[in-house]
Chains A and B, each alone.
Chain A
Amino acid sequence: AQSVTQLGSHVSVSEGALVLLRCNYSSSVPPYLFWYVQYPNQGLQLLLKYTSAATLVKGINGFEAEFKKSETSFHLTKPSAHMSDAAEYFCAVSLIQGAQKLVFGQGTRLTINP
């Protein structure tokens, strides 16, 4: 069965600092991996996805993530945090892109300090 672990339920960074949100997955077969963002009182918006093409995936709003099979990781990064990045971030895994359910991690709440 697939599972996702997000290390750190809360991450706080200063505006302009590097953002690093950690995600490790467990899957018996090569996974499809996703990062979603949830702004307050809103739904889930796709940031980026890994679908077995390039291991470094670029997403919206300057975010990117790198798939590392040896470490079973898919950490999310952004070089310079902006106040508008404050949100909840969810890592998710599925066996088949699109057609199958997503299994989500616990989520990481990102706070940006001025």
Chain B
Amino acid sequence: EPEVTQTPSHQVTQMGQEVILRCVPISNHLYFYWYRQILGQKVEFLVSFYNNEISEKSEIFDDQFSVERPDGSNFTLKIRSTKLEDSAMYFCASVGGATDTQYFGPGTRLTVL
């Protein structure tokens, strides 16, 4: 069964460093999302991406964040200068069509020291 994959599973970085979280959505899916879950809190929407552009973003998704679909298969989330409060589990999700279900990847745990 097709699945969303994410790498790495765990990333440790120093405050102020740039990180790139990678996702491979399900092939032929059209809509892509990033969510995050701070430890012990609910899953929060960050950004949605469709037709090679951001379709919606939350207040969390400030100028430090960016997304890209560089090669038609990967979907990346970049944090330019990480802060301690960026420590969280980051989930990627993809959807095939407007009436389909969001499928989530296993997540990348980001730890900022």
Chain A: residues with CB nearer than 8 A to chain B? 34, 36, 42-46, 49, 51, 90, 92, 96-107
In contact, B43 and A96 (Cβ under 8 angstroms): no
| Stretch in contact with the other chain, from B64-72, B78-86, B97-105 | B97-105
Interface size of B in residues (CB-CB distance below 8 Å): 28
CB-CB < 8 A to B41: which residues of A? 106
Number of residue pairs A-B, CB distance < 8 angstroms: 62
Docked complex: B9-65 residues within 8 A CB-CB of A = 31, 33, 35, 41-45, 48, 50, 56, 58
Main secondary structure of the interface of A (DSSP, over half): loop
Report yes or no: B91 in contact with A44, Cβ–Cβ below 8 A: yes
User: Does B97 contact A98, Cβ atoms closer than 8 Å?
Assistant: yes
User: Quick one: given A43-B91, A98-B31, A101-B33, are A107 and B42 in contact (CB under 8 Å)?
Assistant: yes
CB contact between B42 and one of A45, A97, A99, A104 (< 8 Å): that residue: A104
